[in-house]
Amino acid sequence: MKLTDYRKQLIESYKENHTAFVIFTILRVLVILTLIRCIITGNYQSAMLCVLSLLLFFIPALIQDKMKLTIPPVFQVIIFGFIFAAEILGEVNHYYVRIPGWDTMLHTMNGFLCAAVGFSLVYLLNRGSKNVNLSPFYLTLVAFCFSMTVGVVWEFFEFTMDQFFFLDMQKDFIVQEFGSVTLDPANMGTPIDVAGITETVIHTASGETYTVNGGYLDIGILDTMKDLLVNLLGAVVFSAIGYSTLKFSKSSKIADNLIIKPKD
């Protein structure tokens, strides 16, 4: 099958749900317009992110087609929105630095979505096997652990990019107080509290000087811990939904719209 024919087939699979297809189409048009703008302005790195986003938009349809699964339309729309918010708004339009809390919102959503994916994977295994019969608690625990594992692996990726390519994916925070045993003059491991920091001056070996106004520049650790905490929050929220659905109601509109199921 030609690539163009396969692309048409994937688009046809989206047309089965009107709402998901409309959102998919609108976001694709916005990404294409952004791609054209990036090419005109010579911002080729952002143009590559636009191309990546266009490819990512086809992942839900690709999964449905290859694995014979049904991804609920609401879940598809959330995935489309997440990709657009992370890549186009966050990276290309710099919402990560322009809008406080943008990164936090996406990491919370990531925790929620990954818990839904983890829950769906084990749920499919549980339903499709005569030899496996997992309890609602175990299903929920696996979903929670899957989400947290994805969050940790992503933080490893951000750390690697920062260490080798200095991309500052682990965003810096300015803090006014910290404790450090390195500053203990007796070298006895006693943490020295440094409070009320108003300015930090950085001198480099090349003779350059940088001034950080307002405090001390924390490199990554606070951002990492914040990301993992909100990932935990998102994972807990979905885990609670999944557990209550399996344990008590056996049916839930929220769960039905977020759990991947085998194709009828």
Do 255 and 154 belong to one domain? yes
Domain-ending residue, one of 99, 124, 151: 99
Q: Give the pLDDT of residue 2.
A: 53
Do 139 and 241 belong to one domain? yes
Domain-ending residue, one of 67, 99, 131: 99
pLDDT tens digits, residue range 41-69?
999 999 999 999 999 998 888 888 888 88
* 184 within a domain of the structure (yes/no): no
pLDDT tens digits, residue range 152-211?
999 999 999 999 989 888 988 899 999 999 999 999 999 999 999 999 999 999 999 999
* 93 within a domain of the structure (yes/no): yes
* 195 within a domain of the structure (yes/no): no
Domain that holds residue 256: 100-172+219-264
At 164, which helix (H) or strand (E)? helix 136-165
Do 223 and 92 belong to one domain? no
* 224 within a domain of the structure (yes/no): yes
pLDDT tens digits, residue range 207-220?
999 999 999 998 88
pLDDT at residue 236 above 90? yes
pLDDT at residue 1 above 70? no
Q: Give the pLDDT of residue 118.
A: 93
Q: Give the pLDDT of residue 136.
A: 86
Domain-ending residue, one of 99, 127, 149: 99
Cα–Cα distance for residue pair 190/183, rounded to 1 Å = 9
Do 49 and 105 belong to one domain? no
User: Looking at residues 9-22, what average pLDDT do you find?
Assistant: 73
Do 149 and 249 belong to one domain? yes
pTM of the model: 0.87
pLDDT at residue 13 above 70? no
Cα–Cα distance for residue pair 131/205, rounded to 1 Å = 64
Do 258 and 160 belong to one domain? yes
Do 135 and 233 belong to one domain? yes
* 146 within a domain of the structure (yes/no): yes
Residue 179: CA count within 13 A, CB half-sphere: 5
* 29 within a domain of the structure (yes/no): yes
pLDDT at residue 8 above 60? yes
Query: Number of structural domains, the chain?
Result: 2
**Of 81, 226, 234, 249, which Cα lies nearest the Cα of 146?**
234
* 22 within a domain of the structure (yes/no): yes
Supply the DSSP symbol for 116: H
Is the distance from CB of 158 to CB of 224 less than 8 angstroms? yes
Q: Give the pLDDT of residue 219.
A: 85
At 211, which helix (H) or strand (E)? strand 209-213
* 150 within a domain of the structure (yes/no): yes
Do 81 and 54 belong to one domain? yes
pLDDT tens digits, residue range 103-159?
999 999 999 999 999 999 888 877 766 666 778 898 899 999 999 999 999 999 999
Q: Give the pLDDT of residue 34.
A: 97
pLDDT at residue 87 above 80? yes
- Between residues 234 and 4, which one has the greater pLDDT? 234
Do 153 and 131 belong to one domain? yes
Do 54 and 138 belong to one domain? no
Do 120 and 240 belong to one domain? yes
Do 60 and 80 belong to one domain? yes
